[in-house]
Structure 1
């Protein structure tokens, strides 16, 4: 626990310094947008339900002076501006059972840098996460369900959602890629995160195929799926699988004041495929998400998708 608190203190210092320091590292002249990536995740694309980690959208814009197919050896030369919207919901949107999670909508804006050091790929940055009714995500989901003819959030569910607040946070990841044969790569990683959730995570990704070798890939916080932001040329397929587990110290989304107890660990397992042709590229993946709190009814499976078309 002492080590966990030390990591929390270090990462919180990142959240204060990143927004100030990172933009000054890269000179304004000759900086261009090098890439753009996005990922849509929804549990209806997985197990056809509507609860838990019910839906999210993340997009990343990459700025820098140049990209040569590999990470630079200095922080700040590649900057990622990340925007994410996320909805978490109880099993029953109309009458949640006692001990289920409250509805929570969140919007986050982050600034991250990606580089390599001593053989490790490093990503770190800070974010601001806005939660509560002020995000209007409860209204968005209600309107969407009305349009689809699905039961919307009840007035009681909306009234008992996570309250308005803004949380500064930070995240850091270290990974090390290993070639396994000619066409495969293994990537163990560790991650630390503080802010709306405080956690330490460790896992591994395994990729078969060469399509994404020259890409800049960033990790989605909900599923752990890595999505493409700077795309290399060529065509083909890449298959990915991954597993990880996290030890969570605290979660704004699962407050102890409501009688919720976090599970001892939070497990994920995922698989997906990237493809690229002359005028199209895309990704589809599925992710198993283990229980996050002890009274959660069951695990869930979510699906993630990205589709790009060139005209």
Structure 2
């Protein structure tokens, strides 16, 4: 498994064009999700943090056509918990999972479509140390320790490949109303296919490169655009069919829902060298025994070089 993961990343590195020396630092983006900023409960998709470093040729408002010219180094952590993280575990509820991942993604355009292709090495289980980290955080803020971490998904390392293809369409107002439909396929930590779309209202963000948050699907600036500074409003949603999930393994008796749905909205401020985003996302049930949906909040900050 580790060899397969390394091979997937090695393939992407080998595919980088010979002009790699022309790449420059374009920006750093951070994304923080937590249900405390949504419905206020500490459960299920409890919290995640991601940081991405973007490198490529001088940014001129659109992706290059060559795969490997514009790259993203992505690092993520996530904590997934049962509904009652500090109480007695319910056998039908999902298990605790700590997640750490590192990966390389390339973004390019082809025939007017934006393409994202990448590979990640995803580690799960007690080996991540995230159960101890959450325990320390709970001690710091004076809340109960996460007892559910005792009964968590075991250690594993899973190679994951993700492909997304989308195209942004200007609907009105010289691009001040835009719609971006997309399709996504992933194989690995969760094997799924997804289709959805995102609307943007406001002139800011035009000419920007936006990355997609793994948990919520929110579209957030990775590289700030060439348009004026100001505010834009984003709203979107998607539906996925999930064939398999290491987070909800069938061998432990979990039945995945037929579809997995997300609805999201957010407000983005673009400045000259930084952008800030806040949004909320409704996440539908992920397994049949999950009693209800949840709402998580997202904060993101991007810095351009």
TM-score by length of 2: 0.92
Offset at residue 84 of structure 1 (A): 0.5
Residues in 1 aligned to 2:157 and 2:261: alpha-carbon distance in whole angstroms: 27
Q: 1:65 aligns with which of 57, 62, 71?
A: 57
Q: 2:234 aligns with which of 192, 215, 240?
A: 240
Q: Which residue of 1 aligns with 2:88?
A: 95
* Residues 41, 303 of structure 1: 8 Å contact kept: yes
Q: Which residue of 1 aligns with 2:258?
A: 264
CA spacing shift, 1:128–1:308, aligned 2, 3 Å? closer
Offset at residue 151 of structure 1 (A): 1.3
Structure 1: 5+ residue stretches without partners: 1-12
- Residues 279-290 of structure 1: matches in 2 within 5 Å? 281-290=275-284
Q: Which residue of 2 aligns with 1:209?
A: 202
Offset at residue 308 of structure 1 (A): 6.0
1:125 aligns to 2:99 (yes or no): no
CA spacing shift, 1:251–1:215, aligned 2, 3 Å? same
1:168 aligns to 2:186 (yes or no): no
Q: Which residue of 1 aligns with 2:297?
A: 303
- Residues 8-27 of structure 1: matches in 2 within 5 Å? 16-22=7-13, 24-27=16-19
**RMSD between aligned residues:** 1.9
Offset at residue 21 of structure 1 (A): 3.7
SS of the equivalent of 1:144 reads helix
Q: Which residue of 2 aligns with 1:110?
A: 103
SS of the equivalent of 1:27 reads helix
Q: Which residue of 2 aligns with 1:79?
A: 71
Greater than 6 Å deviation, 4+ residue runs:
none
CA spacing shift, 1:279–1:73, aligned 2, 3 Å? closer
* Residues 202, 231 of structure 2: 8 Å contact kept: yes
Structure 2: 5+ residue stretches without partners: none
Offset at residue 158 of structure 1 (A): 2.2
Offset at residue 29 of structure 1 (A): 2.1
